[in-house]
Structure 1
C-alpha cells in the first residue's frame, strides 16, 4: 500500500503517514527500521505494510516508494 509521509522524528525514528484517503496512521521505530531507511521527509511517497484492522491497524514496514 502507498502513503505519504506526514511527520517524522529522527530522534525516535517514528512518525506518521497519510493514506491516500487522508487517514493518518502512525508508525513506530520498529516499522521504520524494518524498511532499512535512514531518514524521511514530510511529503515523500512511501510504501507501507500494515496488519490488523480498524483501531488495531498498525504499520509494520515503511520504505520508499520508487517508480
Structure 2
C-alpha cells in the first residue's frame, strides 16, 4: 500500500503517514527500522505494509516508494 509521510520524529523513529484517502495512520520505531531507512521527510511517498486487524490496524513496515 502507498501513503505519504506526514510526520516523523528522528529520536523515536515514529510518526504518521497519510493514506491516499487522507486518513492518518501512525507508525512506531520498529516499523520504521524494518524498512532500513535512516531519515524520512514529510511529503515523501512511502510504501507501507499494514497488519489489518479491524480497528487495531497498524503499520509493520515503512520504506520509500520506488518507481
**TM-score of the alignment, normalized to the shorter chain, above 0.5:** yes
Cα distance in 2 for partners of 1:55, 1:40 equals 26
TM-score (norm 2): 0.96
Structure 1 range deviating more: 49-58 or 8-17: 49-58
Q: Which runs of 4+ in 1 moved over 4 A?
A: none
Can you give the 5+ residue segments of structure 1 that lack an aligned partner in the other structure? Answer: none
Cα distance in 2 for partners of 1:21, 1:53 equals 19
Can you give the 5+ residue segments of structure 2 that lack an aligned partner in the other structure? Answer: none
Alignment of 1:7-46 (within 5 A): 7-46=7-46
Cα distance in 2 for partners of 1:39, 1:54 equals 29
TM-score (norm 1): 0.96
CA RMSD of aligned residues (A): 0.7
